Amino acid sequence: MRTTVGIIGGGPAGLLLARLLDNAGIDNVVLESRDRSYVEQRQRAGILEQPTVDTLRAAGAGERMDREGLVHHGIELRFGRRAHRMDFPSLTGGRGVLVYAQTEVVKDLIALRLAGGGPLLFTAEVRAVDGADTDQPVIHFRHDDQDKTLHCDYVVGCDGFHGVAREAIPATVRTSYERTYPYSWLGILAEAPPVYDELVYAHSERGFALASVRSSSVSRLYLQVPCDTDLADWPDERIWDELDARFALDEDPGWKLERGQVTSKAVLPMRSHVTEPMRYGRVFLAGDAAHIVPPTGAKGLNLAAADVTVLARALIRQRDTGSTQLLDAYSDTCLRRVWRAEHFSHLMTTTLHTDPAHSPFDTRLQLSQLARFASSPHAAADLADNYTGLPLPQ
């Protein structure tokens, strides 16, 4: 097999890149290790920044998103048992975010790919990438019980943190930066209508909580828990009781969540990770293969979309003009945005969560930062600017 761009990973990053390349007439092959059902049901982020929404629309992948997505014009911060709303349009010149689950983005992109006839191989397990520093890198994979090879002009690793693409960058060249957090999230999906109009981020002496949305009838909710949490210790009733306790308001003591059937439950670790560089020879990394952010800032899917948008433009420029200028700048261009997102996500995480090692002094610092977001137009504008999405590099 031979193609111009071999894409490892059929998640949102790989599928969006494939769509952008298809629209430009650049042939590509997508290799995904899981089956279609697994990929379409993999629960991840649900907040799309304005640049991500714009990219999906321009790619012809926004019809159902615009019809079913929920526009949010702000978020609510709760701390000190009081509520404070951040109004994004007034702080950013009109920008907001769209709530549309990653599962739905993936379904839309898969449907478009299959309708267009582009190669999308599920259950294709990539074993290795050879020749990253040559003009003809090769992907070795197994599909339909056969060992196969895909010869490419370029290879793009969109295969996540545990994928093989990053290993194509020699250890002597590759540098990893990482931070782990001393807490996790217990996340649930529940058939319960949200009683809030926008996402609610709560700082509490009991720990952090987040109320999110999947639809008008489905809630996505999170609790900060210890890293060694056993789900067996958290029956549904205990989860609902703890959520209500952390979202409690002095100004509205009767405020409670709408309870419903919990359809999924999982403990999610929290970490930050960046691999540099994001390009070696003709192998490029995108999305979680290159960087991971804690979910507090809602940046994971959006960073992946930004990566592949930058890369698609660079590949199109090379095809049209022969210039490799944008390809050569890819890693530096993306990393500037990645580190900005890492900083914002780290700030949101460490400001809102209760660290087991925190002293009362540390807690007062957190409350001071949250009060500044709530009272200072400049601090609020910076939060809103980062949350709704910084402009993509042109």
Which residues are identified as catalytic? 72, 201, 295, 299, 387
Tell me the HSE value of 301 on the side-chain side, using a 13 A CA sphere: 30
Collapse the DSSP code of 283 into the 3-class scheme (helix H, G, I; strand E, B; otherwise coil) and give the result: strand
- The CA angle 160-349-227, to the nearest 5 degrees, is 70
Collapse the DSSP code of 264 into the 3-class scheme (helix H, G, I; strand E, B; otherwise coil) and give the result: strand
* Bridge partner residues of 210 (DSSP): 201, 222
How far is it, in rounded angstroms, from Cα 22 to Cα 322? Answer: 19
DSSP letter for 257, please.
Answer: P
* Residue in 390, 68, 83 with CA at minimum distance from that of residue 252: 83
- Burial label, 44 (beta-carbon count in 10 A; 0-12, 13-18, 19+): middle
Distances in whole angstroms, Cα of residue 292 to Cα of each of 115, 270, 303, 325: 31, 9, 9, 27
* Residue in 146, 94, 97 with CA at minimum distance from that of residue 125: 146
Find tokens 């609020």 and name the residue.
Answer: 380
DSSP letter for 213, please.
Answer: E
Collapse the DSSP code of 352 into the 3-class scheme (helix H, G, I; strand E, B; otherwise coil) and give the result: helix
Consecutive H or E run containing 368: helix 360-375
Distances in whole angstroms, Cα of residue 91 to Cα of each of 86, 94, 206, 349: 8, 8, 31, 22
Helix, strand, coil % in the chain, rounded to nearest 5:
40, 30, 30
* Residue in 264, 317, 308 with CA at minimum distance from that of residue 287: 308
